[in-house]
Chains A and B, each alone.
Chain A
Amino acid sequence: MIKIRSLFKQYDHQPLFKGLNLDIEKGSVVSLIGPSGSGKSTLLRCINRLETFQGGYISVGGQTHYGTQEKKHSLAQNERETTNIRRKIGMVFQQFNLFPHMTVISNITVSPIHVLGAERSAAESHAISLLRKVRLEDKALCYPDQLSGGEQQRVAISRTLAMRPEAILFDEPTSSLDPEMTREVLRVIKDLVLEGMTIILATHEMSFAKNVSTNVVFLEKGIILEYGDAKDIFNKPKNDRTKIFLGECPW
């Protein structure tokens, strides 16, 4: 479903990805693991083009956007493809990024109403059902500042789901949460996995990744060192660097 070919990206002439390739099947749950600064977030942000890249292309369900130095599409067409890709793919951020001036329900319905042109009443009843799924239906009229971090992240997931995405990118969704809130959020993600959603999850929660993923990508310095079946990689990693990264605690 997602096809990444020869992805080339550099920051200020410092190359990060030097021709990265990756295929993600529909319905798979891919965990992106690796040390901080390895490019996990950047890879996710390239997929829905919150970050631009210079070379290669990324195609999502038939829509393709090219790097800024590829001359395959006109600027306007690339822009259009990007918009379509963003509508197909949801994203959940480490900092939640809820809109603080809107109530929970408005946060969820603003995009369906104004982007998809949904009826307000339909959008709202959909939003309520999504909130029920994350057990926050009683917070519909609260403002984000009145919620805990875990609650905010669950609202953020509902907001993404309201656009009925074909895949969701999770960018370290629990990194700023305490263990209890982390459990609340992971439980919601687990539900999505069980429903068969295509998920790419950048995370440091190794046991959760091991538990839910179908595939694992081990990324370091912008290079995929290992990509394969989750059980294989977690149980018997082939790459030495992966072994060290996943290594047993020395104490």
Chain B
Amino acid sequence: MFLSGRRLVSGVIPYHKNLAVLNQVRNLLSRKYRPFIIRCTLLLHICFCALWLNISDALANQNTLEKIKNSGILTWGFDAEGGAPYVFHDPAHPDKLIGFEVDIAQSIARELGVTLHYFQNAWDSILLSLQRGDFDIALNGIEITPDREQAVLFTHPYYVYTEQIVTRASDNRINRLEDIKGKKAGTLYNTVAKRMLDELGEVTVNTYNGQIEPFKDLLLNRIDAVFVDLPIAQYYTLPNPQLRIAGEPVGEGYYGIAVRKEDAALAEELNKIIEKLLRSGELKKIYNRWGLWNASQEKLFLHEGLLQRYTESQPSIIKKPPHATTPFLIILLKGALVTVGISISSMMLAVSLGLILAIIRLYGNKWLQKIATAYIEVYRGTPLLIQLYILYYGLPNIGITLSAFAAAILGLGMNYAACEAEIYRAGIQSIHKGQTDAALSLGMSKRLILQKIILPQAFRITIPPMTNDFIALFKDSSLVSVIALVELTKSYSILATATMDFFKLGIITAFLYFGMSYPLSLFARRLEKKLKPYDQNSQPLQTI
């Protein structure tokens, strides 16, 4: 959405069919807050896109519309991170989601006569999650583009978006797109706005992942203008007297509700509801409330209709976000609980699987050894993020659908098992050969020697590096937010982008992480001491 129309209305920019897949990939990846690494998954996306056409039929054989009516629940997928004014946490009541799309989704649920359930999902993968059946509809500023239409089914548009220039109130040099020439402009990564600026030429373009950053840089005089979707431009500009909307909106595109391809009946039903909401004026009322109604929206009625620029709308609801810390803490603590749950479960998996791998690698027969070595090399040599994507979005292709929690634990656990296996191997190999000699000469079997003599000694040696790994895993657990889990880091970025308070919340979040990892270090130290009772009273071995 914020990448507003990575492409304009069909016909404005002619599309070459061969580019469709590539564009789909780009569309999926584009937008907003996105850890740098996510871009590394481009390749994976290409694979998924190629597979999409096949899987859409396999999934969700059940008629979704019937399912919704029978269960009385409509599950709605969205990303609230940096989502203002679409979907975001109310800065005054952070446990509450607000935004014009919340209003629309609620109206739709009401029209269907069902309850609305919320499903937070990273925007990058929202269509993938829709495909795998995590929710029934994706309604989150998703532009209708021909390449996306190959993957999902869109309803009639519910909003017409345009691009808008924003500049400092004190700066009257820029009033049209052409005025940006020779100056510095900020826009969002991989957007139509970016493409338009590039085509304009003679502009220094700063590209951002998050929607707040360009406005910050604009206020700091680092850039002269911001060029983004109108809703974003309005949301950040109107409450701030230091900024102003410069000139008319440019370019146009449609937001539509996405459903799975086989859900034509659901789409039909949604189309009727959208039409009803339009005719009754309810949709207009919602857009007015958020200051988003403009002449372009008439197109929703007329489709090819004329353009009559219409700029009124002093939004009533948009005001400077207040700073409330206490309710935030509850959301952060909830995220922390997920982080702890995932970390501990996956570390337990890593530690036990790692031990099995290490033993196979050291003592197994030739073929098992090769398999264990291959496992370790592959898991160590590929990004965790790709492994998570394959587990969560790839496995459904072969009929295995894991819950997000299970996929997170398996992903982290299996990845770290490879590291733990090597730590165990180093620990086992560091035990003096004389120990094995003595045990063998006492008639012990290899298994007994491993169990009673080697492993107990190796364990103690492996505690410090394993603690290290556990703390690393603990922090790596933030990666699982890509598969629809809201853990601590995700909670932080959702809240921080909603309130623009990166500093205070950041400190609190960092403190929460540290508050969880430090006791872990202490525990590991105690455990190490406990496993080495025989020199508790003696001096440290190495006194240099």
Chain A residues with CB under 8 Å of chain B are 45, 48, 50, 83, 86-87, 89-91, 93, 95, 97-101, 110-111, 114-116, 142-146, 156, 159-160, 163, 169
Which one of B440, B448, B452, B535 lies within 8 Å of A86 (CB-CB)?
A: B440
**CB atoms of A110 and B534 under 8 A apart:** no
- Interface positions, chain B 415-454, Cβ under 8 Å from A, are 432, 434-435, 437-445, 448, 452-453
Q: Which residue of A lies closest to B531 (CB)?
A: A101
Q: Is the CB of B533 within 8 A of A143?
A: yes
CB distance from B456 to the nearest CB of A (A): 5
Also in contact, A114 and B533, with CB within 8 A (given A93-B438, A97-B438, A99-B438): no
The answer for the CA separation of A110 and B438 in the assembled complex, in Å, is 12
B442 and A111 form a contact (CB under 8 A): yes
Chain B 87-120 near chain A by CB (<8 Å), digits 1 or 0: 0000000000000000000000000000000000
Q: A101-B460, A144-B534 are in contact. Are A111 and B437 (CB under 8 A)?
A: no
- B443 contacts A86, C-beta separation under 8 Å: yes
Q: Closest residue of chain A to B532, judged by CB?
A: A101
CB neighbours of A91 from chain B (8 A): 437-438, 441
Number of A-B contacts (CB under 8 A): 74
Secondary structure at the A interface, as helix, strand, loop or mixed, is mixed
Contact B443 A87 (CB under 8 A): yes
Determine if B443 and A111 form an interchain contact, defined as CB atoms under 8 angstroms apart: yes
Residues in chain B near residue A98, CB distance under 8 A: 438
The distance from the CB of B428 to the nearest CB of chain A, in whole angstroms, is 14
What are 25 A-B interface contacts by the 8 Å CB criterion? Answer: A48-B441, A50-B441, A86-B441, A89-B441, A91-B437, A93-B437, A95-B434, A97-B432, A99-B453, A101-B457, A101-B460, A111-B439, A111-B443, A114-B444, A114-B452, A115-B445, A115-B448, A116-B443, A143-B533, A143-B534, A143-B535, A145-B534, A145-B535, A145-B538, A156-B438
Interface size on B, residues (CB 8 A): 24
Binary CB contact string for chain B from 525 to 544 against chain A (1 if under 8 A, 0 otherwise):
00000011111001000000
How many Å from the CB of B531 to the closest CB on chain A?
7
Which A residues touch B531, using CB under 8 A? 101
Residues of B within 8 A of A (CB): 432, 434-435, 437-445, 448, 452-453, 456-457, 460, 531-535, 538
List of B residues within 8 angstroms of A143 by Cβ: 533-535
Q: Using Cβ atoms and an 8 Å threshold, which residues of chain B touch A99?
A: 435, 438-439, 453, 457
Contact: B434 with A163, CB < 8 Å?
no
A83 engages B434 (CB within 8 Å) = no
- Tell me, in angstroms, the Cα distance from A22 to B256 when the chains sit together: 93
Complex Cα–Cα for A142 and B538 (A): 13
Nearest B residue to A99 via CB reads B453
Are A115 and B441 CB-contacts (below 8 A) given A101-B460, A110-B452, A143-B534?
no
Best-buried of A91, A116, A144 by chain B (most CB within 10 Å): A91
Q: Which residues of B contact A114 (CB under 8 A)?
A: 444, 448, 452
In the assembled complex, how far is the CB of residue B191 from the closest CB belonging to chain A, in whole angstroms?
Answer: 62
Q: Which residues of A contact B532 (CB under 8 A)?
A: 101
Contacts of A159 in B (CB 8 A): 438, 442
Choice from A100, A111, A169 contacting B457 with Cβ under 8 Å = A100
CB-CB nearest 6 A-B residue pairs = A143-B534, A97-B438, A91-B441, A97-B434, A111-B442, A87-B443
List 11 additional A-B contacts (Cβ < 8 Å) besides A99-B457, A110-B452. A48-B441, A89-B441, A90-B442, A93-B434, A101-B534, A111-B439, A111-B442, A111-B443, A144-B534, A145-B534, A146-B534
Q: Are B442 and A115 in touch, CB under 8 angstroms?
A: yes
Instruction: Decide: A83 near B438, CB < 8 A? Known: A100-B457, A110-B452, A114-B452.
Output: no
The CB with the most chain B CB atoms within 10 A, among A83, A101, A146, is that of A101
Once the chains bind, are A50 and B444 in contact (CB under 8 Å)?
no
Closest to A116 in B: B443
- A209→B448 CA distance, assembly (Å): 36
Q: Inside 8 A of A48's CB, which chain B residues have their CB?
A: 440-441
Q: With the chains together, A101 CA to B435 CA distance in Å?
A: 11
Tell me the complex Cα distance, A83–B444, Å.
8
- With contacts A97-B437, A99-B438 known, is A115 near B533, CB below 8 A? no
Tell me, rounded to whole Å, the shortest Cβ–Cβ distance linking B337 to chain A: 37
Give, as a whole number of angstroms, the nearest-CB distance from A108 to chain B: 10
Q: Once bound together, how far apart are the Cα atoms of A99 and B454, in whole Å?
A: 9
Q: Which residues of A contact B460 (CB under 8 A)?
A: 101
Are B441 and A90 interface neighbours, CB within 8 A?
Answer: yes
